[in-house]
Amino acid sequence: MERPIYMDYQATTPVDPRVLEAMLPYFSERFGNAASGGHAFGWEAQAAVKRAREICAKVLGAEPMEIVFTSGSTEGIGLALKGAAESCLQRGRHIVTCATEHPAVIDTVRHLAARGLEVTWLPVDREGSIDLRQLAAALTERTILVALMAANNEIGTLHPIADIGRVCRERGVLFFCDATQGVGKIPIDVRRDAIDILSFSAHKLYGPKGAGALYVRGKDPPVRLAAQTQGGGQERGMRPGTLNVPGIVGLGRACEVAAEELSTEAARLTRLRRRLHDGITRGVAGVALNGPAEKRLPGNLNLWFEGVDSAALMMEMKEVAVSSGSACASTEREPSHVLKAIGASDRQAHSSLRFGLGRMTTEWEVDRVVELTVRAVRRLRESAP
């Protein structure tokens, strides 16, 4: 059986061959522990980690010492939210976040709420955007942290992170940004955007799974995070443990490639996304876009198909790998919390599909997916009682 056309790039991405090439030596001949400072094997690993840290910092407009390597965004989010809350308890116990955040943020915030912190959940409009006036009104003297993502993983909405950062900075509140879907796809600069803490993951930008990074502002004034694990002094004590040198090398190279190609790849994916959208909507009626038409991730397209169950549609078009929502909640049959937050009914949420386009997506694949989707929707509607 031929492998399906991959259109789930918001869930994960294949490792770019250039990234794999950079990683391979660190599995074998350059296998040293970056904490081993007494011989050449350790020095090689240290130099590789240092280089990757410099690349990640440059991509974000940060300083190398502000980069903390993690196993990925979920760990980074937990360290950011729990670590900031724990270190700021003397100042206040109030957090502001949004109804459409990733489950890694939502579950961590609920964990903090169960331990006595107060949480304000900002609503969103039909396109998944927050109201900056509501954000400003939600901030109080006891607010210690605002947690809002750069780009939504389900419907592609881009939050105005520079405006959010400005509001937070003016009120002396920390701004944590989950930029898992944003780094390498849209321009992000932590200084310009007034971001205090930011997380991202290698496997969303053509790097390996199991590697990620957390930006933690180091000056004016420095942000303090309470470590959530103990057992060593690595990563300035914030994330102790043996460093994943091959993964870190892959993360650095993935960031480097993504930064070099960001503008051209964003334009290409936007064109392909519109081609996919136009082709499907020309082929069948009763299709609506979830999320904004323009201010969205270049490679994200989330569509509602009237009268068609998304699970049945995915079964009908097995030649295409797509998703009905977040990969972290894909085993659940509950309606998407993101689609519910933008006003979709349970039926509409269960009739929506997310198409994720990426670096390896071709025009031929887009046209083929249009053909397969249109055919599957027509067949399901014709067979419906």
Is the separation of the CB atoms in 62 and 190 below 8 Å?
yes
Q: How far apart are CA 72 and CA 212, in angstroms?
A: 4
| Strand 5-6 with 320-321, pairing | parallel
Q: How far apart are CA 269 and CA 9, in angstroms?
A: 12
Q: Give buried/exposed letters for 43-65 (b at 16+ CB in 10 A, else e).
A: ebbbebbebbbebbbebbebbee
Count other C-beta atoms under 10 Å from residue 310's C-beta: 21
Kindly list the catalytic residues: 328
The pair of structure tokens assigned to 105 is 């943020």
Three-state SS across 94-134? EEEEECCCCHHHHHHHHHHHHCCCEEEEECCCCCCCCCHHH
Q: How far apart are CA 93 and CA 130, in angstroms?
A: 22
Count other C-beta atoms under 10 Å from residue 320's C-beta: 21
Q: How far apart are CA 366 and CA 194, in angstroms?
A: 37
| Strand 174-178 with 143-147, pairing | parallel
